[in-house]
A = this chain, B = another copy of it.
Amino acid sequence: MNIGFIGLGAMGRPMARHLQAAGHALHVWARRPASVEDLPAVVWATPAEVGAACEVVFTMVTSSADVEAVALGEHGLIEGMAAGSLLIDCSTIAPEAARRIAGRLGERGIDMLDAPVSGGPQGAIDATLAIMVGGAAAALERARPLLEKLGQRIVHVGPNGAGQVAKACNQIIMVAAIEAAAEALHLSSAAGVDGGKVRQALAGGSAASRVLEVMGKRMVERDFAAGIEARLHHKDLGLVLAAARQSGVPMPLTASVAQQLNALMALGLGKNDTAALWCVLEAK
């Protein structure tokens, strides 16, 4: 199959390579052409050209505006993709943006799935991502053989936008868990108690989590190299709080975590791992 991939960063690149390894021909476009020079792929001059060459196109970019530009902008996918082709957007964007883009593509007979992922760069490399899908069931069934090359757990959450809602929930819970681990381990450190021992003691109980395993270890070892860059979580929590405001849902904990991420950004730590929330608590 001819497959397009736009957004070849820390997540997108290993994902594209898995699709290629499965025997598909890879077509790409990149804002910075130098970034795809080393890829054994057909490089096109615009997203529209990628769309014209492919039955399925993946996008894995940063923001709602980025997906909108690539899909609907000048020389966007919509100008090239044929009726009956499929866009799978793995970016983390606003649910309403996902619905709007799907609606516009739908008018041309182009299917779209929002399929944001969880698991980070390591999950992308290991093809163990959790994939949260919003869109038509039939479109998911077409996409499933491809998604199975990328992840182990593919859940159809609901119609377009529902995948992004699930991803928003994922980010709320994950970043809150990172901040909670930072506050807890910081308190134990102030009490002169070894954070490594505390992590070990908690691993068997009700507080056990993936975050405590992975990010808790980074805090204790003061290893703040990303990982997942904190600036991306900062962006995601901005989306979440906008959605909360729009829906009239109170989110006091999420709001306090977002403030800590603001402080992290102000300290210039946005390219560090989100475990660097630890450093915000230390700031003198």
Give the B-binding residues of A (Cβ under 8 A). Answer: 95, 117-120, 123, 129-130, 132, 151-153, 155-158, 161-163, 165-166, 168-174, 176-177, 179-181, 183-188, 190-194, 197-198, 200-212, 214, 240, 243-244, 247-257, 259-260, 281
User: Chain A interface secondary structure, helix, strand, loop or mixed?
Assistant: helix
The 7 closest A-B pairs by CB, nearest first: A118-B205, A153-B204, A130-B205, A209-B209, A176-B180, A169-B184, A130-B204
Q: Would you list 21 pairs from A and B whose C-beta atoms are within 8 A, ordered by A residue? A: A95-B191, A130-B205, A153-B205, A157-B197, A166-B198, A168-B184, A169-B185, A169-B207, A170-B184, A170-B207, A172-B187, A173-B177, A173-B202, A174-B207, A176-B253, A180-B254, A187-B240, A187-B247, A191-B243, A205-B210, A209-B211
Determine whether the beta carbon of B118 is less than 8 Å from that of A202.
yes
Determine whether the beta carbon of A281 is less than 8 Å from that of B180.
no
Determine whether the beta carbon of B191 is less than 8 Å from that of A281.
no
Q: Chain B nearest CB: distance from A166 CB in Å?
A: 4
CB neighbours of A200 from chain B (8 A): 155
Determine whether the beta carbon of B188 is less than 8 Å from that of A169.
yes
Q: Chain B nearest CB: distance from A11 CB in Å?
A: 13
CB neighbours of A243 from chain B (8 A): 187, 191
